[in-house]
Structure 1
């Protein structure tokens, strides 16, 4: 057993994870912390913004990221019960507990808020931002569905397809590069199953930097208001 930042636990050990753990389908659980932007003053060298992408391309790997403390417990217990390699992505900053989550199951996301105009699919700390965005949109008479997609791999294809069919578009939110992470997984499903407009909220081809979590969320356009702007843009395109 050991512990590490996601940046180093994956960045320095990716070859061993691929060749020793995943290739042999070993029952190993990789739980790493300080993923994403909000790791405080440590800066770019310690901020893992590419970790999901690196793990997503490895066969046999399950990837999960919780939105709060109780879901962290659910994910750890599910990872222990799962027979095979698992990557659990944890952050550093404190987050509020989110109510309304359903019974946890690997690969099965759940709707935290119903909506008929647009779907916001989020993971990790971005779930809270998505819920706040839905509140702002409600004041504008726009109905947003909020989905907590805690499992990036295997991704919940059924939920994504339902969102595409039942709302006018999808906004995907993640504290990760916009390539190779949750947005990529959602986009691949939409490419195969049918066209629908999609916007991405995430880090856009930039390294991280030092700062407090609120400062970094604002600097990298990951706030609830940024999600609202993306929803407005998407809805304008679909009307």
Structure 2
């Protein structure tokens, strides 16, 4: 995987909006004074009349998008995850979720890989916040290919969608002809018989690398990419857990309320299985280089490998 190209999914988001904008005249993009960072500036350059900078007023932007969606537009609102899910939570819940409006949320700079911006901007709670809103689809793509596919799927879905994108460039692992993105369906990236590791977002590639290290130690890990946190692929989760009998989850998010919680909820009801959640352990992040933070919090390949080894 060392030779694979690396692209930040926030870049994928901006590029996907432009490609989709060429096809869909009713697609509009709103940003909260962060177009250069969220990469919606790419769309603004291509379609200046369909890009609205709402200033540093995220809640207002959410309300504007809700109104536009009732007039035949398909708005994509964009800002950092901390502001999209955190600052605007009430507006997302009441103005978009409650009336089930066709608004898409492109949340960039999620998780501790935001790096030097520190704890105030490292949103490790967004998946939990969005997952609990009735009718909200929640997507966390793992690479460039998947992020672009997620944007298109979000447009085609009738209803609110939350998409999580990252700042850190990650390897492109899905550049193959047979790749297929489907909302609510997980992807088996590596078959195994001893344990199952469900991963999401940038942790997917790190989990694959960890699985290689585990294989060298005689532990055959099945690796499954869960790009859609809600609706989640219950059938695949229960089938894999039944096969291996031991489950791990990996996410660049709090272990409370995100992928680990979603998988545990499914298994507790349908296939009781021991689950170990690997993620941010109920703490705030801190300022530092993204790669070093991922290592410190045990979310790189080495950390995942060590956690599985000491647990198994």
Taking structure 1 as the reference length, the TM-score comes to 0.95
Give the match's secondary structure for 1:186: helix
Please name the residue that 1:86 is paired with. 161
Task: Write out aligned runs for 1:36-75 (5 A).
Answer: 36-75=111-150
Among candidates 178, 181, 190, match of residue 255 of structure 2 = 178
- 1:171 and 1:102 mapped to 2: Cα distance? 24
Tell me by how many angstroms 1:10 deviates. Answer: 1.6
- 2:108 and 2:125 mapped to 1: Cα distance? 14
Please name the residue that 2:266 is paired with. 189
1:27 aligns with 2:102: yes
Tell me by how many angstroms 1:197 deviates. Answer: 1.1
1:26-61 superposed Cα distances (whole Å, 9 cap, x missing partner): 000001100011012100111110011111110010
1:201 aligns with 2:278: yes
1:155 aligns with 2:232: yes
1:143 aligns with 2:220: yes
Q: Note if contact 2:139-2:164 (Cα within 8 Å) is conserved in structure 1.
A: yes
Q: Note if contact 1:199-1:230 (Cα within 8 Å) is conserved in structure 2.
A: no
Q: Note if contact 1:171-1:230 (Cα within 8 Å) is conserved in structure 2.
A: no
Give unpaired runs (5+ residues) of structure 2.
1-29, 32-77
Taking structure 2 as the reference length, the TM-score comes to 0.73
Among candidates 242, 255, 272, match of residue 165 of structure 1 = 242
Tell me by how many angstroms 1:73 deviates. Answer: 0.4
- 2:136 and 2:244 mapped to 1: Cα distance? 31
Tell me by how many angstroms 1:177 deviates. Answer: 0.3
1:3-30 superposed Cα distances (whole Å, 9 cap, x missing partner): 3111012211111111110110100000
Give the match's secondary structure for 1:102: coil
Give unpaired runs (5+ residues) of structure 1.
none
Aligned length: 235
> Highest CA radius of gyration, 1 or 2?
2
Please name the residue that 2:289 is paired with. 212
1:15 aligns with 2:51: no
Q: Note if contact 1:198-1:234 (Cα within 8 Å) is conserved in structure 2.
A: no
1:77-114 superposed Cα distances (whole Å, 9 cap, x missing partner): 00000000000000100001114673100000110111
- 2:131 and 2:187 mapped to 1: Cα distance? 21
Q: Note if contact 1:118-1:231 (Cα within 8 Å) is conserved in structure 2.
A: no
Larger RCO: 1 or 2 (CA < 8 Å, sep 6+): 1
Give the match's secondary structure for 2:282: coil
